[in-house]
Every structure is written in C-alpha cells, then in structure tokens.
Amino acid sequence: MALELSNAGHSIDTIADRLEVSRATAARRIRAALQRIPAQEADTLRRQSEARFNEWMRRCNALLASDLSTQDTVRVLNLLLSLERERVQLYGLRLPSAVVVQIEQGAGQ
C-alpha cells in the first residue's frame, strides 16, 4: 500500500498519515517494497518520481520568479526543501537536518 501511494505522488507525510504510521515506518515500507520488485521496474518507478519532483520544482521556481510576498516566498522555499528531502529519500541519500533561510528586505518595505 505504501508503494502504491508513493507511486500516485503522495508525500511521505501523507503516506504515513494514511497508513497511521510514522514517517520512518512509511519510508521503510516503501524501501522494502522497492527491494521486492525487479531492479528494472524499480528504476522506472524512480524515474517517474524524479519527473514528478522536477515538474513540481519547476512550478515552485516559476512562483519564486514572480512577485510574491515575503510570507509566500518562505512558503515556496519550504515546499522546495520538502521536495528535495523527498527526492533525497527516494535515492537513499541524506540532507542536512536543518536549513536556515534568511530573506533581506529592501529599504522600501
């Protein structure tokens, strides 16, 4: 079930909520399900997920290029960070545990 939800584009948080388990358990279930399928099929699933991440990231970057409020900019940056975490988890890599985003406001704001 975890893999099906992941393939449908749901985040780890959503999968954990739906399965009523922790994020770590949801991620572990997805990894276990991926290990049970043939390598070629797993690569196809990873490529599909990567394509979804890339599209969402393009949309976020387009939003950042528009005239957003500071609050909306922070929201989009947080979404980008979340997408990057999901992508990193997909490939079994690690991100820093914390990232600080600082926004400087111009004199007229």
What confidence category does residue 48 fall into, taking pLDDT thresholds of 50, 70 and 90?
A: confident
Q: For tokens 């979404």, name the residue.
A: 79
Distance between CA atoms of 21 and 50, rounded to whole angstroms?
24
pLDDT reported for residue 33? 84
The answer to whether the pTM exceeds 0.75 is no
pLDDT at 95: 52
Question: Which of 21-25, 68-72, 103-107 has the lowest average pLDDT?
Answer: 103-107
Residue extents of the structural domains in the chain: 1-36, 39-99
Greater model confidence, 36 or 101: 36
Is the pLDDT confidence value at 53 over 60?
Answer: yes
Nearest Cα residue to 89 out of 18, 2, 19, 20: 2
Confidence band for 20, pLDDT divided at 50, 70 and 90: very high
In whole angstroms, give the CA distance from residue 55 to residue 18: 24
- Determine the Cα–Cα distance for residues 38 and 52; give it in Å rounded to an integer: 22
